[in-house]
């Protein structure tokens, strides 16, 4: 029971009693100060009236002196009342005894003023004035008792100081009438005292009851307020819950212990298409995908058992007939201590599943790219070694063939060796294209023009049973690429499409202008945003199953019969497109054909021309000085022999640093430098940069069978230059050298 309720029950504590007395005292003092204005007005009026009447028989100094004292007392009491009402409420309550003392002092001084009037303004010779004086003073005593009764400590001093001094002149007189009037005043005083005490006691009891009941009333009000607040909070909670359920994206549901759905949120309709009324009151198993039903019942049993468990996924039947993947969380639903069902949330995770699938596809593409990069490095290294070997073979064949002009059988053998070397060179060039370790000669070109240029050749290649359709976009942007590489890409893709349509079909080559939005592009995720020129090669052939589709860009992977394919065609396409900076995607289904899509970054430049030097058609001899920098000694020897045989002075160096030393030791001019791009210590590019300031007119012939990184020939040092891809014949070398030297 609350503390104040105990007080009301008749068992108050000391603190309660003291607090009640303070409250009663403070209220009584408040009542005293509430009557100050009425007291002030009545006192001023009666005092002025008394002075006006008594001035006729009382000396003016006495009359006005009394009036001055009276006005001073009343002014002081008014000022006291002003400060009381200006004081804080807490000070008026806690300092009630102090304010009572001040008020009692003022009342006593006021009573002394009225008592003094009864003594000082007494008129011995005029009965009228005596009666008037008694009437005024007695009236003020009665009025004061009526106002000051709340506190006896104030009322009694006022009455005593008012009436006792008034009695003095009446009892000092020998006149019986005067003594009778004095006796009547005493009786009047006693009656006033008795009435004041009785009224005060009544007020005290009433205030005590009021404050005794205040605790109970406060508790009742607090309880009522608490109940009202609880009702409001309950209504607000119900409103919030209803709003949460109605606005939630997730499906909120309850299921009874008998597996009957008890409630569903409106999002059930939004997510699955069913109306809520179609499933509330029905058992849930029919809406679960059959293969997921066992798991659903297991998790339902765990929820009823109150066992904690993680989220789980189920496929739920939508009204359309499709099954929607959803993620569930269950918790027991209690009614008191008993579990009466389960309460749960279900979230549509279709989008998340799609994102996870896209992420998995991206990871697979990354793994495939990494695998292709590793295979490319291996293929490039092998091609490099083979190119150097083939270069030596072709070089020695060049020297042997003139010597065997009269020996037909041996000459044919050597020609066979050279032809085999050329075939091997073709394979190594494909490996280099796949591994992106070849020198490229890009230019800004019109992709449509390349397709138109090769249209006739491609038409002859595919045969009469296949119809070639070309769809060219008029707004196709320019791209920067090696025209030979684009031609090789087209040739390989068309060959692949032809082999996929042995019984004929339609082959479509189409171009388009495409703006990609980066990761936001659903069709081509993972490709940076920007403008692309797209090239699509689409056939109506046999198509490919997923297992084959995953491996089509791997080198040496082929589905063709033994001897009908090297497995390098599509891997070469992949390497060439990557080297250009483009992207390639492929879609295919068995029996529905295949579509290769190539995306090349657009450039805002006009179509240009490479402007490389052409080999010479004149005599191949010369006397100029040539610097030969090649790290493979066998290659260096065969090239030296070919150049020396034609009269050139050849300075050999096994790497770039050695070549610089050779140039420092050579006093004469150097007309041409034949340098390998990839050499230890100092490569071909670095060597040319250091030679250019010393030999301003130096001609450069680059050669390479392999590069660590793709090399753009136009970005090599700005001197007169040409390039030969290993392996090349000695005749091609000599004609290229002569062509460079003859250029002014």
Model pLDDT for residues 84-102, shown as the tens digit of each residue: 888 888 888 788 888 888 8
Work out the number of other CB atoms within 10 angstroms of the CB of residue 248: 14
Q: Can you give the pLDDT at residue 684?
A: 86
Does residue 573 sit in helix, strand or coil?
helix
- Pairing relation of β-strands 594-603 and 443-445? unpaired
Q: Residue 8 in contact with residue 219, Cβ under 8 Å? A: no
Q: Can you give the pLDDT at residue 124?
A: 75
Closest to 398 measured CA to CA, from 161, 41, 728, 658: 728
Is the domain covering 625-742 a CATH 3.40.50.2300 domain? Answer: yes
Helix axes 36-54, 14-34, angle to 10 degrees: 40
Q: Can you give the pLDDT at residue 550?
A: 77
Neighbour-count burial of 408, counting CB atoms closer than 10 A to its CB (0-12 exposed, 13-18 middle, 19+ buried): exposed
Whole-structure pTM value: 0.40
Q: Is the pLDDT of residue 142 over 80?
A: no
Residue 205 structure tokens? 């009891």
Q: Can you give the pLDDT at residue 16?
A: 63
Q: How far apart are the first and last CA of the chain?
A: 118
What are the residue ranges of helices labelled H in 557-683?
569-580, 633-644, 656-665
Does residue 697 sit in helix, strand or coil?
coil
Does residue 469 sit in helix, strand or coil?
strand
Name the band, by pLDDT with cuts 50, 70 and 90, for residue 372: low
Q: Is the pLDDT of residue 716 over 70?
A: no
Q: Is the pLDDT of residue 8 over 60?
A: no
Q: Is the pLDDT of residue 223 over 50?
A: yes
More confident residue, 237 or 593: 593
- Pairing relation of β-strands 312-317 and 478-481? unpaired
Name the band, by pLDDT with cuts 50, 70 and 90, for residue 563: very low
Closest to 720 measured CA to CA, from 694, 741, 693: 741
The share of the chain scoring above pLDDT 70, in percent, equals 79
CA angle 695/701/705 to nearest 5° reads 140
Q: Can you give the pLDDT at residue 661?
A: 92
Over residues 694-721, the mean pLDDT reads 71
The strands making up 672-676's β-sheet, listed across from edge to edge, are 649-653, 625-629, 672-676, 699-704, 721-725
CA atoms of 434 and 429, how far apart (whole Å): 9
CA atoms of 77 and 209, how far apart (whole Å): 31
Name the band, by pLDDT with cuts 50, 70 and 90, for residue 6: very low
Which of 98-102, 205-209, 638-642 has the weakest average pLDDT? Answer: 205-209
CA within 13 Å, CB half, 119: 16
Does residue 45 sit in helix, strand or coil?
helix
Q: Is the pLDDT of residue 507 over 70?
A: yes
Work out the number of other CB atoms within 10 angstroms of the CB of residue 180: 11
More confident residue, 19 or 730: 730
Does residue 255 sit in helix, strand or coil?
strand
The share of the chain scoring above pLDDT 90, in percent, equals 13
Q: Can you give the pLDDT at residue 110?
A: 84
What confidence tens digit (pLDDT) does each residue in 515-527 have? 887 766 667 877 8
Name the band, by pLDDT with cuts 50, 70 and 90, for residue 597: very high
Q: Residue 163 in contact with residue 115, Cβ under 8 Å? A: yes
Q: Is the pLDDT of residue 290 over 90?
A: yes
Does residue 645 sit in helix, strand or coil?
coil
Q: Is the pLDDT of residue 548 over 60?
A: yes
Residue 130 structure tokens? 């005596």
What confidence tens digit (pLDDT) does each residue in 34-71 have? 877 888 888 888 888 888 887 878 888 888 888 888 88
> Max alpha carbon distance in the chain (Å)?
191
CA angle 533/537/542 to nearest 5° reads 155
User: Which of 171-175, 368-372, 488-492 is the most confident on average?
Assistant: 488-492
CA atoms of 237 and 299, how far apart (whole Å): 29
Query: Domain extents for the chain?
Result: 3-220, 248-348, 356-433, 442-603, 625-742
More confident residue, 558 or 354: 354
More confident residue, 529 or 457: 529
Q: Is the pLDDT of residue 673 over 50?
A: yes
Q: Can you give the pLDDT at residue 211?
A: 63
- Alpha-carbon Rg for the chain in angstroms: 59
More confident residue, 264 or 726: 264
Q: What is the CATH number of domain 248-348?
A: 3.30.450.20
Class of domain 442-603 (CATH, top level): alpha beta
Q: Residue 629 in contact with residue 687, Cβ under 8 Å? A: yes
Name the band, by pLDDT with cuts 50, 70 and 90, for residue 2: very low
User: Which of 58-62, 402-406, 640-644 is the most confident on average?
Assistant: 640-644
Q: Can you give the pLDDT at residue 182?
A: 72
Which of 230-239, 381-390, 467-476 has the weakest average pLDDT? Answer: 381-390
Q: Scan for tokens 């290294």, then name that residue.
A: 381
Q: Is the pLDDT of residue 697 over 80?
A: yes
Q: Can you give the pLDDT at residue 242?
A: 64
Counting other chains too, the contacts that 484-490 makes at CB distance below 8 Å and 24 or more residues apart are 484/441, 485/433, 485/440, 485/576, 485/579, 485/580, 486/445, 486/447, 486/450, 487/450, 487/454, 488/433, 488/572, 488/573, 488/576, 489/573, 489/576, 489/577, 489/598, 490/450, 490/451, 490/454, 490/458, 490/537
Closest to 47 measured CA to CA, from 16, 70, 31: 70
> How far is residue 510 from each of residues 235, 502, 537, measured CA to CA in Å?
67, 22, 7
Work out the number of other CB atoms within 10 angstroms of the CB of residue 512: 16
Q: Can you give the pLDDT at residue 261?
A: 92
Q: Residue 344 in contact with residue 258, Cβ under 8 Å? A: no
Name the band, by pLDDT with cuts 50, 70 and 90, for residue 256: very high
Q: Is the pLDDT of residue 713 over 70?
A: no
Q: Can you give the pLDDT at residue 439?
A: 57
Q: Is the pLDDT of residue 674 over 90?
A: yes
* Mean of pLDDT over the chain: 79
Q: Scan for tokens 């050999």, then name that residue.
A: 652
Q: Is the pLDDT of residue 188 over 70?
A: yes
Over residues 282-292, the mean pLDDT reads 92
Question: Which residues, 6 or more positions from 337, have their beta carbon under 8 angstroms from its beta carbon?
Answer: none
User: Which of 185-199, 487-501, 554-568 is the most confident on average?
Assistant: 487-501
Which of 119-133, 328-342, 658-672 has the weakest average pLDDT? Answer: 119-133
Q: Is the pLDDT of residue 4 over 70?
A: no
């Amino acid at each position: 029971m609350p503390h104040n309720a105990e007080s009301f029950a008749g068992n108050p504590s000391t603190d309660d009693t003291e607090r009640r007395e303070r409250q009663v005292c403070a209220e009584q003092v408040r009542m005293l100060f509430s009557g100050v204005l009425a007291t002030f007005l009545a006192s001023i009026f009666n005092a002025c009236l008394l002075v006006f009447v008594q001035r006729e028989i009382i000396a003016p100094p006495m009359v006005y002196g009394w009036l001055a004292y009276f006005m001073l007392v009343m002014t002081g009491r008014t000022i006291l009342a002003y400060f009381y009402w200006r004081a804080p409420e807490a000070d008026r309550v806690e300092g009630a005894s102090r304010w009572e003392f001040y008020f009692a002092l003022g009342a006593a001084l006021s009573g002394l003023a009225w008592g003094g009037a009864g003594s000082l303004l007494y008129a011995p010779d005029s009965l009228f004035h005596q009666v008037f004086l008694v009437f005024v003073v007695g009236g003020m005593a009665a009025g004061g008792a009526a106002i000051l009764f709340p506190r006896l400590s104030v009322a009694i001093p006022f009455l005593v100081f008012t009436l006792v001094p008034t009695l003095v002149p009446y009892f000092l007189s020998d006149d019986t009438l005067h003594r009778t009037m004095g006796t009547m005043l005493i009786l009047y005083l006693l009656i006033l005292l008795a009435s004041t005490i009785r009224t005060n006691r009544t007020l005290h009891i009433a205030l005590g009851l009021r404050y005794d009941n205040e605790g109970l009333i406060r508790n009742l009000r607090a309880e009522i307020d608490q109940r009202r607040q609880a009702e409001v909070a309950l209504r607000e909670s119900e409103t919030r819950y209803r709003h949460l359920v109605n606005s939630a994206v997730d499906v909120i549901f309850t299921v009874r212990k008998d597996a009957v759905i008890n409630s569903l949120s409106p999002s059930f309709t939004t997510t699955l298409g069913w109306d809520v009324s179609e499933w509330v009151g029905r058992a849930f198993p029919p809406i679960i995908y059959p293969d997921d039903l066992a798991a659903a019942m297991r998790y339902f049993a765990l929820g009823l058992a109150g066992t904690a468990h993680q989220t789980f996924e189920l496929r739920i039947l939508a009204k359309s007939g499709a099954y929607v993947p959803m993620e569930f969380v269950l918790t027991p639903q209690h009614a008191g201590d008993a579990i009466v069902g389960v309460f749960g949330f279900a979230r549509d995770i279709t989008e998340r599943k799609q994102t996870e699938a896209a992420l998995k596809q991206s990871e697979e593409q990354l793994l495939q790219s990494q695998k292709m990069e590793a295979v490319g490095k291996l293929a490039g290294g092998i091609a490099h070694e083979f190119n150097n070997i083939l270069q030596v073979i072709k070089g020695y064949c060049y020297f042997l063939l003139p010597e065997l002009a009269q020996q037909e059988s041996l000459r044919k053998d050597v020609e066979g060796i050279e032809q085999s070397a050329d075939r091997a060179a073709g394979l190594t060039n494909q490996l280099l294209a796949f591994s992106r370790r070849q020198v490229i000669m890009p230019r800004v070109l019109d992709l449509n023009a390349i397709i138109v240029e090769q249209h006739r050749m491609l038409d002859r290649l595919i045969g009469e049973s296949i119809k070639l359709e070309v769809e060219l976009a008029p707004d196709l942007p320019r791209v920067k690429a090696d025209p030979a590489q684009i031609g090789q890409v087209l040739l390989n893709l068309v060959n692949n499409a032809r082999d996929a349509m042995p019984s004929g079909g339609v082959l479509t080559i189409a171009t388009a202008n495409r703006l990609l939005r980066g990761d936001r592009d659903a069709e081509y995720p993972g490709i940076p945003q920007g403008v692309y020129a797209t090239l699509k090669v689409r056939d109506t052939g046999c198509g490919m199953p997923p297992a084959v589709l995953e491996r089509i860009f791997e080198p040496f992977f082929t589905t063709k019969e033994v001897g009908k394919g090297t497995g390098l065609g599509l891997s070469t396409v992949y390497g060439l497109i990557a080297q250009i900076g483009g992207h390639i995607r492929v879609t295919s289904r068995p029996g529905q054909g295949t579509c290769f899509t190539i995306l090349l970054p657009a450039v805002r430049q006009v179509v240009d021309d490479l402007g490389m030097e052409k080999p010479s058609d004149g005599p191949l001899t010369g006397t100029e000085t040539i610097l030969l920098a090649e790290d493979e000694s066998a290659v260096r020897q065969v090239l030296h022999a070919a150049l020396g045989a034609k009269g050139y002075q050849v300075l050999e160096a096994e790497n770039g640093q050695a070549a610089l030393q050779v140039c420092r030791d050579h006093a004469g001019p150097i007309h041409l430098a034949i340098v390998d791009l990839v050499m230890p210590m100092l490569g071909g590019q670095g060597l040319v940069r250091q030679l250019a300031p010393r030999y301003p007119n130096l001609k450069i012939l680059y050669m390479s069978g392999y590069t660590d990184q793709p090399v753009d020939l136009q970005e090599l040092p700005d001197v007169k230059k040409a390039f030969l891809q290993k392996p090349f014949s000695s005749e091609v070398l000599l004609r290229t050298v002569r062509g460079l030297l003859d250029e002014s």
